[in-house]
Chain A
Amino acid sequence: MSEQHVEGAASKAVPKVFLRHPLTGDVQEVDGIPAAMIPWLGQGYVQFTPAAPPKGA
């Protein structure tokens, strides 16, 4: 029962969002929910999509 519960929770995992500070370049990977993103956005971080790593990397 407990394993099923854990599996169910994992399937509802919150997608991550990448936020980057445009001046310092600092990157934060946070849950893609407003409560997690708002404090970073308020500090000037902006959403971005990291470039896919090159094949074979």
Chain B
Amino acid sequence: MPARIQQLILGLGKAKQTNISTAATSFLRFKKLDMALTTPKPVFENDAAEIGKGHEFISQTFPSHYDVANRIEKYASAEFATWVCAYGLGNVAVTGTGAPYTYTIVPIDPGTTLELPYFSIVEHVAEGGGSAIDNLHIGCAIEDFTYQFNYGPGRASSKMTVNWAGTGLLTSPSAVVVPATLAENNMLAGGMSLTVNGVDYVSTKRILSGTIGWKNNLMLNAGFYPGSGLQNGLQVRGRMEVGARATSFQFTTRLLAGSTEYATLVAQTTGTAVLTVQHDASNSVTFTFPQMAFQVVENTEADGIVAVSVTGAPQYNITASNVMSVVALCGIGGIAGSGA
């Protein structure tokens, strides 16, 4: 009996793993938009290129390593955005004794650590009274994430996409009981505010769309170090360190007489950029770039309306000690924490 993709049950580890090889014990069950299933992909090499065999074909294969990665595309909810930013940036402080919890999140300091908090991912697909898929991926880290907003109605106006990678450590069957689907508080773009370099783009009704991005550039090959470990005779990663990280902020706004974007670009004026999107007062996410200039300003159009597309150049701010910070409010405590 075949299984439908809609039967996928996706559980994301809530509390961070105690170490890279010990699975999380608490999970949050999310819905998602994309249909990508995770494959615990074992990689094998062969001897086709080796000489001395008397032919150019494969005569033998050899186990190499596991390579696990996937993406999650979702409407942006306060809960998922908190989860993504907490694991994607890495240094998290939580305040509040009850909902809403306030998560203050900044990128990890590479002078302190190069490793993000690790999480576990479980995927179940029921089939024929059993499971077509029942995998627990242990020791995962976020490669990059994007928050995207657009004009237009509904949840599609506010989305998040995350790419993650794993060590290859796998438990199958998972033996994980995933909780009920989380009741998420979606944050529509209609609940957004945006101020960049002193310009309030929402009160002037100019903002159209934009993206905020973060990329950790994980050093995945360096995870296969001597002694990193084996599973079924294939290498698994023993660490996943951040590489040269990068952040981005791009937005498109209607172009008016007196618009300051081009002048800001030419003068290379720097200022703060703050984007907040909320479901309500208890469920929101605020991205703050403490210091940002404009890198590119291009005239364009959107639905026939003259517009301008701005690519920001976020800068590290010494006073704030970061290039980007996130403050998230949601009703779920313990995300990326050390508890259960």
Residues of A near any B CB (own CB < 8 A)? 15, 17, 19, 21-23, 32-34, 37-44, 46-47
Contacts and interface: CB of A to CB of B under 8 A. Distances in A.
B16 to A, nearest CB: 12
A53 B270 CA distance: 47
Given A21-B112, A34-B104, A42 B327 contact: no
Interface of B: 91-95, 102, 104, 106-109, 111-113, 319-322, 325, 327
Contacts of A19: 93
Contact of A42 (B92, B94, B95, B322): B322
Contact of A39 (B95, B112, B320): B320
Contact of A44 (B91, B94, B102, B327): B91
Contacts, number: 54
A42 to B, nearest CB: 3
B93 A47 contact: yes
Contacts of B320: 38-39, 42
22 contacts: A15-B95, A17-B93, A17-B95, A19-B93, A23-B112, A34-B104, A34-B325, A34-B327, A37-B104, A38-B320, A38-B322, A40-B321, A41-B321, A41-B325, A42-B107, A42-B320, A42-B321, A42-B325, A43-B321, A44-B113, A46-B91, A47-B92
A41 B104 contact: yes
A37 B93 CA distance: 8
A18 to B, nearest CB: 10
